[in-house]
Amino acid sequence: MQELLCEWKLYQLVSLLALLRVHAENYVNVAGCLGQIHTALSVPQGQPIRQDLAISALGKLDGIRSQFEAVGLTTTVAQIDRINERWNQYHDYGVLLTQCQELLHRLEDELKNRFLLILPSGVQSRYSKPLAEWEECIGRFPQTIENIEEMNRCFALSCYAASVFHSLLIVEAGLIELGKYIGVTDPKVGWDGTCRTLENLCKQRTTYSGPIPFASLEQINQIVQSMKLAWRNKVNHEAGRLSVLDPHFTPSIAEEIILSTRSLMRRLATDIPK
């Protein structure tokens, strides 16, 4: 992995698993809680305050706290803790109202230093459920889980070259496993050695007696050769490993590569002995 990253000098990859997912409605909920407390406590003189509404809003606010803590809104979290601490000690509604107003200011100030992205609805599932429809592949090749997650999340965030990069590593994992069953002898395990052995076997069908049906090998070879043709001038599959030559991929090309990858891996999962 480190060698591949060093070769790909045009772009620096970062782990998208480190990105924090936040539900935007939580920010709206905070405003709603604070508005509820303000309504409960800001009543005309002589009328009783709505204690039930205030206490209910405090409970909701405390439930949202973990989301703010997860994304590092530390001063907002500190203010929520301060509100709860003061309330538990004194049950002072006047102080509660003042502190909630301060909480809104803290949240506004912290949000000014945060940049939030909204994913289009068509790719949200790729980010939130990156392993969906890859269960068959994962069951046979569990070592591909991380790259499947990264591939789909990169695609969701429009990082198409990075998405292709991870798809190549998924394919390589499958081909290395295939090589164990078709007699690959190349000391550099990977795409090149497996493809060369696979192609030779399909040309010399009368001498093959391996554990995978020959008809399956022919079909796998056709898929692999099609992928090599489609990726020509963009992906280097020589020297026993895969690397990206051209970092400029359109969404449609990246999508085609991902679909081709999934098709191949499903076939390998079905045909390679467990």
> Which tens digit of pLDDT belongs to each residue from 2-60?
343 333 333 333 343 344 555 677 777 888 888 888 888 887 877 888 888 888 888 88
pLDDT of residue 132: 95
- Tokens describing residue 88: 């538990």
Whose tokens are 């620096």? That residue is 12
Distance set, CA 217 to CA 183, 244, 268 (Å): 13, 26, 10
Residue-level pLDDT at 206: 62
- 198-204: long-range contacts, CB 8 A cutoff, minimum separation 24: 198/224, 199/225
Which tens digit of pLDDT belongs to each residue from 89-130? Answer: 988 888 888 898 899 889 888 888 877 777 888 898 999 999
pLDDT surpasses 80 at 134: yes
Is 30 buried (19+), middle (13-18) or exposed (0-12) by CB count in 10 A?
buried
Say which DSSP state 236 is in. Answer: E
| Residues 154/16, Cβ–Cβ less than 8 Å | yes
Q: What is the pLDDT of residue 234?
A: 65
- State residue 84's pLDDT score: 92
**Cβ atoms within 10 Å of 122's Cβ, excluding its own:** 8
pLDDT band at 238 (very low <50, low <70, confident <90, very high): low
CA atoms within 13 A on the CB side of 92: 10
Residue 215: per-residue pLDDT:
87
| Structural element, H or E, at residue 248 | none
Q: What is the pLDDT of residue 241?
A: 55
Largest pairwise CA distance in the chain: 99
Q: For 176-235, how does the pLDDT look when each residue is reduced to its tens digit (9 = 90+)?
A: 999 988 888 877 777 778 888 888 888 876 677 778 888 888 999 988 888 777 665 566
Residue type, 65: R
CB 246 within 8 A of CB 234: yes
Tokens of 185: 């002898």
Burial class (CB in 10 A: 0-12, 13-18, 19+), 243: middle
